[in-house]
Structure 1
Amino acid sequence: MLCHVTRPDSVVMEVEVDSKANGEDCLNKVCRKLGIIEVDYFGLQFSGSKGENLWLNLRNRICQQMDNLTPCRLRLRVKFFVEPHLILQEQTRHVFFMHVKEDLHSGHLRMCSEQAEVLSALLAQAEFRDYNQNTAKYCYSELCGSEPCPATVDRGHLGIC
Structure 2
Amino acid sequence: MTEDKKSPKKAATRSSKNSTCTVVLLDGENIEIDIPKAAVGQVLFDRVCDHLDLLERDYFGLTYQDDKFWLNVEKKISKQKKSGAWVFEFAVKFYPPDPTQLQEHLTRFLVCLQIRRDILSGRLPCSFITHAMLGSYSVQADKGDYDPNEHGDGYDYIKDMPFAPNQTPEMLEKIAELHRQHKGQTPEEADLHFLENAKKLAMYGVDLHKAKDSEGVDIMLGVCASGLLVYRDKLRINRFVWPKILKISYKRNNFYIKIRPSDFERFESTIGFKLETHRLAKRLWKTCVEHHAFFRLREPEQPKNNAVFPRLGSKFRYSGRTFYQTKHNTALLDRNEPYFERVPQRATYHEKSRSMDERKFEFEKDYYIDMAKAKA
Per the TM superposition, whether the score is higher than 0.5 is yes
The correspondence for 1:119, drawn from 128, 134, 137, is 134
The correspondence for 2:79, drawn from 40, 58, 64, is 64
TM-score by length of 2: 0.38
Q: Does 1:139 align with 2:158?
A: yes
| Contact preservation (8 Å) 2:41, 2:76 | yes
Q: Distance in 2 between matches of 1:79 and 1:136?
A: 34
Task: Tell me the amino acid that sits aligned with residue 158 of structure 1.
Answer: Q
Aligned-pair identity (%): 23
The correspondence for 1:42, drawn from 60, 74, 96, is 60
| Contact preservation (8 Å) 2:132, 2:178 | no
Q: Distance in 2 between matches of 1:29 and 1:142?
A: 31
SS in 1 for 2:88: strand
Structure whose residues are more often helix by fraction = 1
- Structure 1 unpaired stretches of 5+: none
SS in 2 for 1:13: strand
| Contact preservation (8 Å) 1:9, 1:102 | no
Q: Distance in 2 between matches of 1:138 and 1:156?
A: 12
1:79 maps to: 93
Q: 1:141 to 1:104 in 2, by over 3 A?
A: farther
1:159 maps to: 182
Q: Does 1:14 align with 2:28?
A: no
Residue by residue over 1:34-64, the C-alpha shift from the partner in whole angstroms, topping out at 9 and shown as x without a partner, is 11111101110111xxx31211122221111
Post-superposition offset of 1:157: 5.8
| Contact preservation (8 Å) 2:100, 2:108 | no
**After alignment, is 3-12 or 109-118 more displaced?**
109-118
Post-superposition offset of 1:32: 0.2
Q: Distance in 1 between matches of 2:120 and 2:155?
A: 16
Residue by residue over 1:138-159, the C-alpha shift from the partner in whole angstroms, topping out at 9 and shown as x without a partner, is 4265132533264565347613
TM-score by length of 1: 0.81
Q: Distance in 2 between matches of 1:34 and 1:13?
A: 11
Q: Count the aligned residue pairs.
A: 157
Post-superposition offset of 1:33: 0.9
Q: Distance in 2 between matches of 1:127 and 1:152?
A: 13
Q: Distance in 2 between matches of 1:12 and 1:119?
A: 26
Which one has more relative contact order, counting CA pairs under 8 Å at least 6 apart? 1
Task: Tell me the amino acid that sits aligned with residue 75 of structure 1.
Answer: E
Q: 1:31 to 1:123 in 2, by over 3 A?
A: same
Q: 1:125 to 1:2 in 2, by over 3 A?
A: same
Q: Which runs of 4+ in 1 moved over 4 A?
A: none
Q: Does 1:26 align with 2:48?
A: no
| Contact preservation (8 Å) 1:36, 1:91 | yes
